[in-house]
Amino acid sequence: RKEVEQDPGPFNVPEGATVAFNCTYSNSASQSFFWYRQDCRKEPKLLMSVYSSGNEDGRFTAQLNRASQYISLLIRDSKLSDSATYLCVVTGGGNKLTFGTGTQLKVEL
Amino acid sequence: GAGVSQSPSNKVTEKGKDVELRCDPISGHTALYWYRQSLGQGLEFLIYFQGNSAPDKSGLPSDRFSAERTGGSVSTLTIQRTQQEDSAVYLCASSWEPQHFGDGTRLSIL
């Protein structure tokens, strides 16, 4: 089983739609969780950290479920500019980050 | 500049040659990571340096790959006897929350 698993997609959604991604992780001792965004042929960039209580940043909401070992990212009112690959990132021992393979989102007119 | 700097930005070489990729992290960042990303694939962890600790080499795909970090700063990733499957973008990142990525080195093996 992979340490971090994501549905690769692509998720094709119309502008204005709400879309949600899940990511599961295998190491129950994982401490920190993040969502990164990667545009085509660009390096990944941090989108948001994921806190135990859940957190929101504008149209983006991230949640953590430790019991089921998954994190989620919800995007409301999606924009064309949200089209990208969303990477789930989990820390293991020694603060080493493990990236999922990413979920591709395509927002269409 | 203040960001992570990688060189070269592009490298084309013949199969069987050795290549060296360089990463200059953000000053003061003790953690440094190397990843690679093949076309259409996710990030693949290669190696992780943290301060003076022994590096985590668990992601290196074969003994043709090695990396060092001199003086806790600049890092070099070396690939010996390159193969076509080594073609990828090699990304370096420093720190961890958030990770600051370099622009990557696009390596093409002919």
Q: Report how far apart, in Å, the C-alpha atoms of B86 and of each of A10, A98, B46, B93 are.
A: 26, 21, 12, 19
| Mean pLDDT in residue range B17-29 | 93
Beta strands in chain B (DSSP E): 5-7, 10-13, 19-24, 31-37, 44-50, 65-69, 75-79, 88-94, 100-101, 105-109
| Mean pLDDT in residue range B20-27 | 94
- Mean pLDDT computed over every residue of chain A: 92
Please write the tens of the pLDDT for every residue from A1-25.
Answer: 778 999 988 999 999 999 999 999 9
| Chain B partners within 8 Å of A46 (Cβ) | 97-99
In angstroms, the CA A15 to CA B99 distance is 30
pLDDT band (50, 70, 90) for residue B79: very high
* Cβ pair A44:B101 closer than 8 A: yes
| Mean pLDDT in residue range B58-78 | 93
| Chain A partners within 8 Å of B48 (Cβ) | 94, 96
For tokens 């340490």, the residue is A3
| Mean pLDDT in residue range B49-70 | 92
- Mean pLDDT computed over every residue of chain B: 91
* pLDDT confidence of residue B104: 93
A26, A69 in Cβ contact below 8 A?
yes
Please write the tens of the pLDDT for every residue from B96-109.
Answer: 667 789 999 999 99
Q: Is the dihedral of CA B101, B105, B106, B110 positive or negative?
A: negative
Please write the tens of the pLDDT for every residue from A68-84.
Answer: 999 999 999 999 999 99
* Cβ pair A94:B48 closer than 8 A: yes
